[in-house]
Amino acid sequence: EELGLKIGEDLEIAYCPERFNPGDPAHGVRQVARVIGCSNPEVGDALVALYQRLTTEDVRYVGKLEVAEAAKVIENVQRDINIALVNELARIFPALDVDVEDVLSAAATKWNFHRYTPGVGVGGHCIPVDPYYMIQRAADVGVPAGLITAARAVNRSMPSHVAGVLSDLMWNAGVPAGEAKVLLLGWSYKAEVGDPRETPAEPLAETLMAKGITVGAWDPHLDEGSYPVGVEVVTDITAAQGYDMAVLVTAHKACLALDWASLAKQMRTPLVYDGRRVLDLDELKSSGWNAYAVGRPV
């Protein structure tokens, strides 16, 4: 506008959404399908030809720019909703004395069931953010986005829910109120990624600290400046001493490969909580732990 240029006459605007999965080399820039949005089909076709040189997968012109923009948003909205469903089930089924993973495994025997895994929360710069764009645009045109809003509420509340579960477990184990110490294993929002943006570890830590619980954190993918004030940064996991609860927040390979038997001996109270449903709880119990997991009855 400042230059006096008009779209469609002096220039064209197109959009190709980012599709990138950090920590996943199988879906890098050259291994994913792309979509191109542009109001000018000729420009769209030219960009398709360009992007076909950059990826081995399908490149498609999808029409006007808004279609490509909306596709980017709902890709992440869909994941947020699916994750919210299993996170809500992970609260319901333990109250019914049923392990949510047993239910999901049974349901997954049906050909059209799409399986997701519950966890301590959703993080990153896409999934917990993009739904708000859709919610706002729906509000702009007077259309309620109840399902999207509800899903966000479920996922946003998971760290608080888990904090309550951890508090109860420590209380039941005889850990004195006001003296409890929790060690978070992993801080980044995703396994094998050194990125703390929107990580559920932060609201989990904040909720625990608000209860008077001391929180330490160990993440081999992050430096000491990645953590908020108040969190004890553990740089050497073999030197972590005196904690009452270890919580697997991020399923880094380094976290899964820990010497769990040795870590149990370093704990004041050997409680462990699998916040990603990737640990063998029976094996942990044989290593001296009292083991629990999200979505599993106590």
Tell me the pLDDT tens digit for each residue of 109-162: 999 999 999 999 999 999 999 999 999 999 999 999 999 999 999 999 999 999
pLDDT greater than 80 at residue 72: yes
pTM reported for the whole predicted model: 0.93
Which domains are delineated in the chain? 14-63 (no CATH), 70-149 (1.10.1040), 158-293 (3.40.50.720)
For residues 32-52, average pLDDT: 96
pLDDT digits (tens, 9 = 90+) for 175-217: 998 899 999 999 999 999 999 999 999 999 999 999 999 999 9
Mean pLDDT of the chain: 96
Give the integer Cα–Cα distance in Å for 42 and 272.
58
Give the pLDDT of residue 219.
98
Strand order in the sheet with 59-61: 14-15, 34-38, 59-61
Question: Over the stretch 156-181, which tens digit does the pLDDT of each residue have?
Answer: 999 999 999 999 999 999 999 889 99
Strand partners, 11: 7
- Residue 92: closest CA among 296, 232, 285: 296
Is the CB of residue 248 less than 8 Å from the CB of residue 272? yes
Q: Cβ atoms within 10 A of the Cβ of 215, count?
A: 25
- Burial of 141 per CB tally in 10 Å (0-12, 13-18, 19+): exposed
**Residues involved in catalysis:** 126
